Structure 1
Amino acid sequence: MIRPQWVCRHCLSRIRPVWFLRPLAAQNIVKREFHASVRSSQQDEDLFLNESLLKRAKQLSTEHDTLEKQLIESFDTRVAARAGHLRPVSEALKQYEEAVENLELLRSMAEDTNSPLSSMAADDIPPTIDSIRSTSAALTTALVPRNQFASYPCTIEIRPGTGGSEATLFTNDLYKMYSSFFSLLRWQTNIISYQTHNEVGGEGCSELVMTVSTPESYDLLRHEAGVHRVQRVPATESKGRTHTSTATVMVLPKLGEDEGDFEHGTDEDPLAQLDMKEVRVDVMRASGAGGQHVNRTESAIRMTHMPTGIVVSIQDSRSQHKNRATAMTILKAKVAEKRRKEKEEEALSMRRGVVKVGAGRSDKIRTYNYTQNRVTDHRSGESNHDLPRFMNGEGIGAMIEGVKEWDMQRSVEVMLAMQEMEDEKKKQQQQQKK
């Protein structure tokens, strides 16, 4: 049977049912197909977007429309940037609402088994449900704010933790693992500091600082920051006992030579605002190689944010002005990150009724178990059972993607918790006014 083209809702009202075109048996088949699709859709609880997320999306979409009207009257750079940031949310919301409206229309048409378009409506219900799923996922992704430093290259620091000489050996293993991973990706890297010394069982590393020049590398590697734990039998162990050691990985956005001020994305973030009365600035001479410049010029800058205790020291440039701007930018980023984590933990604590949630940098994020030939990420829960291949840089990408999905889910939970906090505050304010 040739399938007619889709007809709009206004034209449907003008169509007269033609009963002889569809036998009674076909009508019964349509009924069974429709009821089966309705039952399956009712059993799928995650089909539609969470009400709190939908409310948040509508708020941002309304803000986007307001900003677009302001830009028509007078152009402003900050307003245009904010409107561009909210545009994906507004577009995804429109697609989601359109798909939901189409599903409601199709279900109402399929219920009317006397209509000649009932069969077509029942056939279009499954793809419409898939469309709702995809647009819901796209809207959720658009709602989660992108990291302000996501587009930048990064600096990686690896240092041994607990475990003595075994920890230094593991630090060197992590360096080789990441180097192999970057080689597979053909990313350009530069070693800034690599301090090694011989240990029983191999070469140990007490400090590794390297830069990855590839743009957006920070967005991928920032999930690697944290405590990595290794469980294996050291070369010095005579009784074959398994020891546990750790190494700490830190990932920071890398500032280029022309990005000393690095103001983009920080001043617009309320959490990145600093009161300079709370920042102590120390000027000193740079240390290390540099000849007369090191001995005669006070260009190194150390900034301390006294409320949080965060310290940033910069001596990369010979210009004190550039070092000051760079230090201020990094200090803003670190303070904003600390404040954001505290705010997220507060929101999740209220939502879950617990004191501490998630895995911070002070907690282990991954375990490398040599005796079981296994690597397990404690955030996403994924495991890789080919440890030698993993340490050669293969399989890390898939595990990082799993962590990114976990981070997305956690960001959604934080967003829901914050929305609930805002709604609760509004209710309390309204009750106080009454």
Structure 2
Amino acid sequence: MFDKLEAMEQRYTLLGEWLCSPDVLNNPAKLREYSKEQSDLADTVETYRAYKRARQQLRDAKEMLAEKLDDEMRELVKLEIEEQEQELASLEKRLQVLLLPKDPNDDKNVFLEIRAAAGGDEAALFAADLLRMYTRYAERNGWKTEMIDANYTDIHGFRQVTLSIQGKGAYSKLKFESGTHRVQRVPVTESGGRIHTSTATVAVLPEVEDIQVEIHEKDIRIDTFCSTGPGGQSVNTTQSAVRITHLPTGIVVSCQDEKSQIKNREKAMRVLRARLYEKYQSEQQEELAANRKSQVGTGDRSERIRTYNFPQSRVTDHRIGLTIHRLDAVLDGELDEIIQALIVADQAEMLAAAEA
């Protein structure tokens, strides 16, 4: 591990020298490439340097303990040694986490798809609640959101909605949200005051570039139709909405958010590319996934991952057994506690697998 860390530190230093070179400063492509590589290494290198400083301080303290000291000074040095050993252990654990294989999609933007499942109108209203939750979470992180497609109900719910979320690290945090979300509450349509259980599914897809997924014109069918839902007369009466069918896989995506058919087609193609990437990646990893049951779930949409219980103001993530009694805050986008716990659980499993 430490040989690898030394090599990373040397590379980090070299990149710093290159970034000061006039040849690189005058080459935008190289400047971006080296800046990103150095940025990716920064956290690991800074932690390793902190580890080396703590290790040296521990050595110095142990050498001091070997000298002739009065009782009071000896106790102070022993206390310092104990603190440095704890700091060293903490930094070493942090380095092990930083050296874990990184998901290549972590820094990518995402498409977040929410679909009402069991529960009829109440499921559609719950889908709207989830949309607001993720929109507020994106705002808290300084990410940009963009509506791609939506299928509205008469009571302001969604049968299906697709949201684009753009921002650094969006996929790294939101990827654990894929799965079935369950709500337990008294629906607004329930006159008898009975608690109902409804569900909605969430899928989080990394946005991929053209070069990663090739789509041939002969493999797609493009249909146009009039948009539905909010948008005004011109949106609802012109053939601006676009539906794209990928014939080899049967995947269908649509976009009706823009007044321009061209813009809707561009957005739909972005979603199709992400859906195909997810499909191809899932097929490649199917065998690995069968052998590795993650603490944070498989991400399969049929898997119940979280329950939102209104009578008890409780949110429970079933994958890690985490319960929070702050339902209103969670639905207002305060997801950090849950998402961080999922990230830690995932890292713990990968560390256990690496040590096995």
Give, in whole Å, the separation in 1 of the partners of 2:22 and 2:320. Answer: 47
Counterpart of 2:153 (choices 185, 196, 219) is: 196
- 1:103 Cα shift? 2.6
Q: Per the alignment, do residues 328 and 86 of structure 1 end up closer, same or farther by CA in structure 2, a change over 3 Å counting?
A: farther
User: Retained in 1: the 8 A contact 2:295–2:346?
Assistant: no
1:70-89 alignment to 2 at 5 Å? 75=24, 76=30, 77-89=32-44
Give, in whole Å, the separation in 2 of the partners of 1:342 and 1:276. Answer: 18
What's 1:381 paired with? Answer: 321
Number of equivalent positions: 336
What's 1:207 paired with? Answer: 159
Q: Per the alignment, do residues 150 and 176 of structure 1 end up closer, same or farther by CA in structure 2, a change over 3 Å counting?
A: same
What's 2:124 paired with? Answer: 168
What's 2:202 paired with? Answer: 249
Give, in whole Å, the separation in 1 of the partners of 2:58 and 2:224. Answer: 68
- 1:410 Cα shift? 0.7
- 1:229 Cα shift? 0.6
- 1:83 Cα shift? 3.7
Unaligned runs of 5+ in 2: 25-29, 228-232
1:405-424 alignment to 2 at 5 Å? 405-411=341-347, 413-414=349-350, 417=353
Give, in whole Å, the separation in 2 of the partners of 1:291 and 1:175. Answer: 23
Give, in whole Å, the separation in 1 of the partners of 2:163 and 2:216. Answer: 33
* Deviation sequence 1:14-56 (CA, Å, 0-9, x none): xxxxxxxxxxxxxxxxxxxxxxxxxxxxxxxxxxxxx6xx676
Give, in whole Å, the separation in 1 of the partners of 2:7 and 2:94. Answer: 17
Q: Per the alignment, do residues 420 and 78 of structure 1 end up closer, same or farther by CA in structure 2, a change over 3 Å counting?
A: farther
What's 2:47 paired with? Answer: 92
Give, in whole Å, the separation in 2 of the partners of 1:123 and 1:59. Answer: 33
Asked if 1:229 corresponds to 2:182, the answer is yes
Give, in whole Å, the separation in 2 of the partners of 1:355 and 1:250. Answer: 17
1:58-69 alignment to 2 at 5 Å? 60-61=8-9, 64=12
- Write the letter of the residue equivalent to 2:61: L
Unaligned runs of 5+ in 1: 1-50, 198-202, 255-261, 268-272, 422-434
Give, in whole Å, the separation in 2 of the partners of 1:385 and 1:306. Answer: 46
1:123 is paired with a residue of what secondary structure?
A: helix
1:284-433 alignment to 2 at 5 Å? 284-285=223-224, 287-288=226-227, 300=242, 302=244, 304=246, 306=248, 311-313=252-254, 316=258, 318=260, 320=262, 326=267, 329-337=270-278, 350=291, 358-362=297-301, 363-387=303-327, 389-390=328-329, 393=332, 396-397=333-334, 399-411=335-347, 413-414=349-350, 417=353
User: Retained in 2: the 8 A contact 1:57–1:90?
Assistant: yes
- 1:358 Cα shift? 1.9
Give, in whole Å, the separation in 1 of the partners of 2:86 and 2:97. Answer: 17
**Aligned residues: percent identity?**
28
Give, in whole Å, the separation in 2 of the partners of 1:275 and 1:214. Answer: 22
For the aligned residue pairs, the C-alpha RMSD in angstroms reads 5.2
* Deviation sequence 1:57-113 (CA, Å, 0-9, x none): 566556656767887797435355334322332332232233234334534543x25
User: Retained in 2: the 8 A contact 1:301–1:313?
Assistant: yes
Instruction: State the TM-score, normalized to the length of structure 2.
Output: 0.65
Q: Per the alignment, do residues 107 and 94 of structure 1 end up closer, same or farther by CA in structure 2, a change over 3 Å counting?
A: same
User: Retained in 2: the 8 A contact 1:103–1:128?
Assistant: yes
- Write the letter of the residue equivalent to 2:55: V
Structure having greater relative contact order (Cα 8 Å, sep ≥ 6) = 2
